[in-house]
Structure 1
Amino acid sequence: MNRITELIIDKTSKGYTHREISNFLRVKGYTPNSVSMIEKTINSVKKEYKAKSTPHLISILYQKGHFKLKSSNSRELKKSTSILRNHQDWRRGKIDEPQNNPKDIGEAIDYIINHLTKK
């Protein structure tokens, strides 16, 4: 896959619309960047991998290892782990710091669960 195709597939896997992907490519200076080109690219990759739909394509590509943990996700993993360790230490009386924000704890739990169940 070339760089534009990789970007299109990555953004598609994250739920971006074709219009949003087109705008992203345009801002980054990639051409061609039309919605039509994005649709043709996705259809071409679906055909190459014999995918019946776009979600099926994303699933196939994920299983083949096309989506990896990136550094920004690695930072999020470290942040989530730190929040949960701090919360556990507080719960067990090892530290006197007040409990973390419940929303942050919930998001950290969600992130860790998603990370662990991806593979």
Structure 2
Amino acid sequence: MITLKSEEFASIEVGFQERRRRTLLATLREDGTMRADLPNAAARAQIDAIVEDGKTLGIVDDPDVIRLAQIAFLPEEIRRHPIVGRSLMAVLLDLGQPASDRLDFIFRRVLAGYEARERGT
């Protein structure tokens, strides 16, 4: 059995967090969620904040964290919309439902419905 000292474990954890940060950053820049001209330090700080927010919401898997980031980077007019914004928060805070189900609902019903209303369809 391998035994790790606390400083060895901490070093592994730091390395994991940095790799995860780089992966999330690359994904969010590639899909257009995060501006390409945003400096890496600022982008990493935003990713760290989203990861921490996700933890309190039970959103910890990378695909779900990416979708949470996509919500966080929506235009303010959508996030603060009197109906859409409240709906987003109500669904995100429904901790009795699995994270992926909550995020699926947001993208499938709340945001798709908003987009359809905006297009007039």
TM-score by length of 2: 0.29
Rg larger in structure: 1
